[in-house]
Amino acid sequence: MATACTALLASCGGGTPGDTSNQGTIIGKASPTIENGIMTPETLHSFGKIGAVEVSPNNEELLYHVSYVDIEANKSNTEIFKMNVDGSEKQQLTFTNEGESSAQWIDGGNKIAFLRNHEGSRQLWVMNADGSGAECISDVEGGISGFTYSPDETKVMYIKMVKSVETIAERHPDLPKATGRVVDDLMYKHWDHWVENVPHTFYATIKNGKLTDYVDLLEGEPYEAPLLPFGGTSDIAWSADSKSIVYTSKKLIGRAYAESTNSDLYMYSLEDKTTVNLTEGMMGYDTNPLFSHDGAYMAWLSMERDGYEADINRLFVMDMATKEKTYLTEEFNYDVDAFIWDKDNKTIIFLAVVEAKAHLFSIDIDTKEIKRITSGHYNYASLALGGEGLIAKRQSISQPAEIYSVDISSGEATELSFENKHILDQLTMGEVEERWITTTDNKQMLTWVIYPPNFDASKKYPAILYCKGGPQGAVSQSWSYRWNFQMMAANGYIVVAPNRRGVSSFGSEWVEQISGDYGGQNMLDYLSAIDELAKEPFVDEDNLGCTGASYGGFSAFWLAANHDNRFKAFLAHAGMFNLEAQYLETEELFFANWDMGGPYWDKSNATAQKTYAASPHRFVDKWNTPIMITHGEYDYRILASQGMMAFNAAKLQGVPARMLLFPDENHWVLKPQNGVLFQREFAKWFDEWLKD
């Protein structure tokens, strides 16, 4: 098995390297040798990860990124590729270790703009369409994290971090080596960092091929635009005439920010430097502005209720002449995740997860008629107009994302990229089954069952129950590099992954039931799923495991005390163990207030008291089953102390326990060697307890 992706293979396509000045040993495409067709952690990290896809102005070529991992170097690298819209003539355009990204066609398709590391920061570069002549055209202090050209290509809008709090050096100039932080309000930390800088939206003018005359749209304001931690260029948009910019911002700080999800869309005029709030009075998240091609309309995504981050994501459109707002998807009881305008400026094509599968739909903005374009057991992950219809990324439980062309009329999809064919052809994937299981309250619950490769129904296999994090968000046909169901199955386990109460894509009633009911119906749903599978003659009902992360980690902690000896081993990653501590440790209080019901000291709040009564730490005296805990110490959403408390509780009671701490990881496990370590220890733990 090859453990490092250090060889750049010519199979990516021919072409002349555009820039080899910093080539060295390039992290490129891996060609692993796979024994017996079974996936390993090293194989999992050999897959190329396809990023954003851009269609050329002449509709003939595609621009896309692929990221590769070098396990030995513990690094990843992203390169830029292009190919024809029919998948032919693939060509790699960049050959460096500088992490190219955000590639966009400019100059009618004759040139490509992109981001690349330059002298310690991310800067904007431009190169010819064949990859030659790369030139840095920006000098932005601190670097750029995303950009988009104006339609007339005279300006560039970009995102960069700006200082938002007084530094210790400014406060105490005579203490240059002091490392303390002074905190006066909430939201002093977020996900994995201390909040000392926030992203702002800027624009600059292009003169003589360089960026100049930089303008901060939020000059002097301490607000985020776009929103952390996931917002990017999809949250900013140029008007069709290049005279205005719409950006997303939650103009709140401190406690108000921590308790609210009320972001708005602001329109900034480049001519008179004025800013107007377009969504004032709309109280939830307003994000993803996108103008129609003719500029007559702006569409965006909007949640209704302030404080509820998992509210249904609704599609709205605004008539820019009258500012009239129209709720397009009022009869569509599912989230809209992404969308584009069709060429006619009257149709929007969007992506939505329905019954745990992400597919493409269209809607007429006048009639609100919705038509389904695609179906099947997979997830579409992006969409763009291109070729004779659509260009979209598609993935499944058994395949990482690849690029497809999609016929809008028939929904028929044709693979174009085949980035990972050389690996997939060597692997035997486990069968994936869709089961509908009856719950304790007589509902039907979709549960994915993933069988081991070369499954033999005459044998018995141990099984692992997967508990979803979130708690919202579907257990869908997605491909993960950590919670990879095929990786679990390759270790010889049947994986049971239920879409229990609280997950999205089954209507608002299903997803909202979990709020205020932690430890309630969703736990019964988990048990319904594993009990149903345990009846099968090929499942070893005496060797069942349970795992999950975040809310899934909470679920593992809770079930460890309430499983009536069903399970022989648990593994919890980044799980909530003590909900009272969690309320005061987490940063986005709107989540805790909505889902938990509020603070634990509010004795008059029945919902909150029900939540804290279900905290796993209250039942730890009932733990009697081996448990492994993993956690990252950069996790500021659920602090590593939660995992440490759980581990200590287990050891103090004599329960077999193991802890894997990552001092340099956040809520996820992102570094290559840590990813391999996680997979190895995951398998080792369950093998010790579930395989006789």
3-state helix, strand, coil in the chain (%, to 5): 20, 35, 50
3-state secondary structure of 508: helix
Token readout for 676 is 């391999």
Helix axes 521-534, 551-559, angle to 10 degrees: 70
From the candidates 563, 617, 631, 667, give the one annotated as an active-site residue. 667
> Do 510 and 532 meet the contact criterion of CB atoms below 8 Å apart?
no
Let me know if 635 is a catalytic residue. yes
Residue 418, φ and ψ in degrees, nearest 5: 50, 35
DSSP sequence for 260-318: ----EEEEEETTT--EEESSTT--S-EEEEEE-TTSSEEEEEE--STT-TTS--EEEEE
d(CA 45, CA 70): 8
Let me know if 88 is a catalytic residue. no
Alpha-carbon dihedral sign for residues 379, 385, 388, 391: negative
d(CA 147, CA 155): 10
Beta-sheet pairing, 461-467 with 494-498: parallel
> Do 85 and 405 meet the contact criterion of CB atoms below 8 Å apart?
yes
**In Å, what is the CA distance from 200 to each residue of 141, 148, 236, 245?**
13, 14, 11, 13
Residue 492 burial by CB count (10 A; 0-12/13-18/19+): exposed, middle or buried? middle
From the candidates 550, 563, 615, 631, give the one annotated as an active-site residue. 550
DSSP sequence for 83-143: EETTS-S-EE---SSS--EEEEEEGGGTEEEEEEEETTEEEEEEEETTS-S-EE----TT-
Pick the closest to residue 236 from 350, 136, 134, 155 (CA basis): 155
Beta-sheet pairing, 539-549 with 569-573: parallel
Let me know if 417 is a catalytic residue. no
Residue 12: half-sphere exposure toward Cβ, Cα within 13 Å: 27
> Do 69 and 85 meet the contact criterion of CB atoms below 8 Å apart?
no
3-state secondary structure of 245: strand
> Do 406 and 389 meet the contact criterion of CB atoms below 8 Å apart?
yes
Query: How many residues are given for the chain?
Result: 692
From the candidates 235, 337, 525, 635, give the one annotated as an active-site residue. 635
Pick the closest to residue 105 from 54, 60, 66, 145 (CA basis): 54
Token readout for 444 is 């039907």
d(CA 95, CA 28): 9
d(CA 618, CA 621): 8
Is residue 494 within a helix (H) or strand (E), and if so which, with residue range?
strand 494-498
d(CA 386, CA 637): 39
**Sheet-wide strand order for 297-302:** 286-291, 297-302, 314-319, 325-327
Token readout for 510 is 């299903």
Residue 430 DSSP symbol: P
Residues forming the active site: 550, 635, 667
